[in-house]
Amino acid sequence: MKQIVLVAETGSDINPALAAEYNIKIVPMHVSFDHETMEDGAFPVEKIVDYYEETGKLPKTSGSTPGDFETAFDRIHAEYPDAQLLYLAYSAVTTCSMQSAVLAAEERDYVTILDTKQVSAGQCNVVIAVAELLRQHPDWTMAEAVRAAEDLIARAKMCFMPENLEFLRAGGRVSNVAFLGAKLLNLHPVI
């Protein structure tokens, strides 16, 4: 059986220790601070809060580019020439990363792509669960791995409870009216 190598992007919040433990390959997303764009994960997260406090604006985030995936796919393929890659994507409705991977995979028949329909910790949980299953079933084919991943994706549900809506308002995710109403009523929404 061919080895299956899992791929995700930095938006999955898979920390370096987990990535190393499960041999998950991480592709960078990007964060722009006005005219400076950096790879997600290449700077301390406090930089985002500091930038917001200094400017009143949130940095802009962007998905991984086709070039990011081409580089990653080629690097992984060079390291594991007989392996199949299973990219478990950040939700395709929230970023361009999955479409970028589809473009990058056109000439690479060793890449399979699935939309986790999750972001952040939700995507992380799906990827780690698939990694655990692959560890338990090292003889699985790609078809078996895909079926298991699709089952997990269909059952995965994620929510988060922000302390307040300030960053969501700053990022345009909630209106000023909703922000003020929640603040006045001391509401803590579940998203």
Ordered mean pLDDT values, 10 residues apiece, the chain (191 residues): 92 93 96 91 88 88 94 97 96 92 96 94 94 97 97 85 60 59 63 56
H helices then E strands: how many in the chain? 8, 7
On whether the 4-29+64-155 domain is CATH 3.40.50.10170, my answer is yes
Sign of CA dihedral 117, 111, 12, 167: negative
Name the token pair of 122: 């939700």
d(CA 177, CA 44): 32
All CATH 3.40.50.10170 domain ranges in the chain, comma separated: 4-29+64-155
pLDDT of residue 134: 97
Rounded to two decimals, what is the model's pTM? 0.84
| pLDDT given for residue 24 in this prediction | 98
